[in-house]
Structure 1
């Protein structure tokens, strides 16, 4: 399985800052509320770190999750780590077995089609709305993103290509004033992101994805909502065409 980068280093700095703030002993109510708020933020940042490690495949499906090691690495107590793990369990990214421990969940093949359907339904409608409001500056920004994707694809840089791919789709929805929709999609598509990461090293895959992005932008630029929606729907669905191939190559990461 290919190796991947982990997470934004700034998240680790935030953990350190929150840990210091949370360690101050105070009695007045205002300070108590601040510490409680910092505690919630600490849980969120631990969750973000673990989720990014899982989605990037830095923590591979089936690998154990050791709470003590996480506590030591981040210099935090068990409570926020446990809360973050439970949140990831609710998302299906972590499995907890009372008798045998905690591990990264395998990728659910049966759920991939539903995730693609969910994402496609929300994104294609947003594209329909975007076509009538897109500006010349927006089109230029999208074309710049595609140029970056071609660069990463030609240099076989899967990690930066994935990030550029994410920025492209986020920009489409944000520009369509659907940022809240993107945030929802982003939280639901963990398994789909892990699967997409496995597809990127396939020969020509990154170039094909970039060309599909170009087709979407060209249709938007022509103000043709139907073609743009079809191009986006086809693009999102194409990832499922290699399920059987990847299942044969990485059989132990799927359920």
Structure 2
């Protein structure tokens, strides 16, 4: 099976090898989350295999993994499609994310080191530049990293891994939000408020800022459902 080598930070020796299945899975997952592949779009094993110059087996395995995440709708003998965004999945994911992230923020207020706060601050500087440049793709990546860094600051990285495994549908809605300039501003402002409270060790304000930031998903979902009704299912 075809594999891809990734260099170490020094660029000398391969750090790890990624299989064709892993590479295809990650690329398709990224394209689905970024809404480059929109809900309802047909997708073919044969076409992906031809595009990637691989056999159909690694593509089939990648499709199965995406199906387990409810990102693909696979029906034997029928067309495979990008699964529509589920309101039910969003509600469950949002509840779990809020419950976990609020507790992470509480801990970060107490244990965050100067080094971890500096990393978050640098991330926010990059976010500001992305907003000014209206670069939604950059902000999407920095948003992901921002929430990961808060978990690092709280010494609760496994909490972020648990969130990340279950929030693909939320990320798709966030991609719709970041397509709008005002949405980019709101994301940055929400992150800034969270960081300032964590830096001051102000648990109450940090928790409220986190809840307020995550609540924007409800408004975004309502607007997106109205604007793109064909992207959603019950």
Same fold, TM exceeding 0.5? Answer: yes
Distance between the aligned counterparts of 2:28 and 2:43, measured in 1? 10
* Matched position secondary structure for 1:98: coil
Look up the match of 1:150: 128
Among 111, 116, 119, which residue is 1:133 paired with? 111
Q: TM-score, normalised by structure 1?
A: 0.81
* Matched position secondary structure for 1:177: coil
Q: CA deviation at 1:234?
A: 1.7
Distance between the aligned counterparts of 1:188 and 1:131, measured in 2? 25
Matches within 5 A, 1:105-144: 105-144=83-122
Distance between the aligned counterparts of 1:77 and 1:121, measured in 2? 42
Distance between the aligned counterparts of 2:69 and 2:118, measured in 1? 36
Among 169, 194, 218, which residue is 2:196 paired with? 218
- After superposition, the C-alpha distances for 1:45-94 in whole angstroms (9 at most, x for unaligned) are 22112111111112111111110111112222222211111111111100
Distance between the aligned counterparts of 2:22 and 2:180, measured in 1? 34
Q: CA deviation at 1:140?
A: 2.5
Among 220, 224, 228, which residue is 2:206 paired with? 228
Look up the match of 2:148: 170
Is residue 186 of structure 2 the alignment partner of residue 208 of structure 1? Answer: yes
Q: TM-score, normalised by structure 2?
A: 0.87
Distance between the aligned counterparts of 1:95 and 1:41, measured in 2? 23
Q: CA deviation at 1:172?
A: 0.8
Q: Which runs of 5+ in 1 are unaligned?
A: 1-13, 19-37
Among 29, 33, 38, which residue is 1:51 paired with? 29
Q: CA deviation at 1:203?
A: 4.3
Larger Rg: 1
Look up the match of 2:13: none
Which stretch of the first structure deviates more once superposed, 229-238 or 60-69?
Answer: 229-238
Q: How many residues align?
A: 223
- After superposition, the C-alpha distances for 1:154-193 in whole angstroms (9 at most, x for unaligned) are 2211111111111111111122222222122112111110
Q: CA deviation at 1:16?
A: 4.9
Which one has the bigger strand percentage? 2
